[in-house]
């Protein structure tokens, strides 16, 4: 880490602190970023199945068994299993006023994190990069290209990306939170992503699958793979899931 990089991190931490005599100047710009992202011109749209009435495993057992798993078989995930994973990370659980409340908490219920998927091996879902449309509960195909090799390279060569059935890629859209929280919004985006990642771990564990989240990746390479600009929207976290040996 260079001295300049360290100073940026220290300055960020310092300048986003709250003090009793100042919370950072109240509200930010009046213009708010759209609360949801959709791809109406997606190459294809795959409806996500409804959830089953009963869950797969007890909570305390699931928490006790949770581990980071990096070795997967070539067994296919079902679309129903993928639906459960998606519900765990960002499924809508209630409507309150103008908000769609989710399975993962979010500062101010602003939900600045978007979910993308690199599908390698999921039943009834062709390989490619997808965006999860929360409002429609569907997968929007961004590209059908096989980008597993590229995403593996972007993740510092971590082979589990290519070996997994699916890789979740989470982005942050700062504009959804900065209008209210200013620069401290970045803290909340990272916290939101952490909540989402833990939910993926627990859901995968409950389903008898393996999961490992990833924070080490070349940002601009991942942004390019999913087609975001790295400024208004940028990759912040990833997670792989697959069947265990």
pLDDT tens-digit series, residues 205-230: 999 999 999 999 999 999 999 999 99
Q: Is residue 10 part of a domain?
A: no
Q: Does residue 14 form part of some domain?
A: no
Domain that holds residue 201: 43-243
Look at residue 55 in the predicted model and tell me its pLDDT.
62
Q: Mean pLDDT across the chain, nearest whole number?
A: 91
Question: Does residue 237 lie within any of the structural domains?
Answer: yes
Structural domain includes residue 95: yes
DSSP state string for the chain: --HHHHHHHHHHHHHT--BTTBSSSS---S----S----TT-S-EEEPPPPPSS-SS-HHHHHHH--------SPPBPHHHHHHHHHHHH-EEEEETTEEEESS--GGG---EEEEEEESSBTTB-SEEEEEETTTTEEEEEE-S--HHHHHHHTTT-THHHHSSEEEEEEE-THHHHHHHGGGHHHHHHHHHHHHHHHHHHHHHHTTEEEEEE--S-HHHHHHHHT--SSSSEEEEEEEEEE--
The pLDDT confidence band at residue 14, using thresholds 50, 70 and 90, is confident
For 99-123, the DSSP string reads EEEESS--GGG---EEEEEEESSBT
- Residue 30: pLDDT band (50, 70, 90) is very low
The pLDDT of residue 23 is: 64
Task: Provide the number of structural domains found in the chain.
Answer: 1
Identify the pLDDT of residue 98: 84
Q: What is the pLDDT of residue 18?
A: 75
Percent of the chain with pLDDT over 90: 78
Q: Would you place residue 24 in the very low, low, confident or very high pLDDT band (cuts 50, 70, 90)?
A: low
Inside any domain, residue 24: no
pLDDT at 50: 86
Give the pLDDT mean for 91-111. 94
Is the pLDDT reported for residue 200 higher than 50?
Answer: yes
Q: Pick the residue with more confidence: 9 or 181? A: 181
In a domain, 112, yes or no: yes
Residue 9, in any domain of the structure: no
Task: Choose the most confident range, by mean pLDDT, from 6-20, 38-52, 172-186, 210-224.
Answer: 210-224
What's the CATH code of the domain at 153?
3.40.109.10
* Residue 121 pLDDT class (50, 70, 90 cuts): very high
Quickly state the pLDDT bin for 25 (edges 50, 70, 90). very low
User: Does 2 or 75 have the greater pLDDT score?
Assistant: 75
In a domain, 154, yes or no: yes
Q: What is the pLDDT of residue 86?
A: 98
């Amino acid at each position: 880490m260079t001295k300049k990089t360290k100073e940026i991190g220290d300055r960020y931490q310092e300048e986003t602190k709250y003090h009793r005599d100042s919370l950072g100047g109240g509200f930010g710009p009046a213009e708010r970023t759209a609360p949801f992202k959709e791809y109406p011109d997606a190459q294809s749209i795959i409806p996500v199945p409804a959830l089953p009435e009963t869950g797969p495993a007890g909570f305390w057992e699931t928490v006790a068994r949770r581990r980071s798993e990096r070795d997967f078989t070539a067994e296919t995930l079902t679309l129903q299993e993928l639906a459960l994973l998606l519900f765990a990370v960002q499924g809508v659980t209630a409507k309150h006023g103008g908000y769609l409340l989710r399975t993962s908490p979010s500062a101010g219920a602003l939900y600045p994190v978007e979910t993308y998927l690199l599908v390698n091996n999921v039943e009834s879902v062709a390989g490619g990069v997808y965006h999860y449309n929360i409002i429609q509960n569907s997968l929007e195909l961004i590209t059908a290209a096989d980008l597993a090799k590229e995403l593996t390279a972007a993740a510092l060569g971590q082979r589990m990306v290519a070996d997994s059935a699916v890789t979740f890629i989470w982005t942050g859209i700062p504009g959804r939170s900065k209008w209210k929280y200013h620069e401290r919004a970045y803290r909340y985006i990272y916290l939101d992503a952490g909540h989402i990642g833990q939910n993926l771990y627990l859901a995968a564990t409950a389903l008898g699958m393996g999961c490992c989240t990833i924070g080490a990746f070349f940002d601009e390479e991942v942004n390019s793979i999913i087609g975001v600009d790295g400024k208004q929207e940028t990759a912040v976290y990833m997670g792989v899931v697959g069947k265990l040996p």
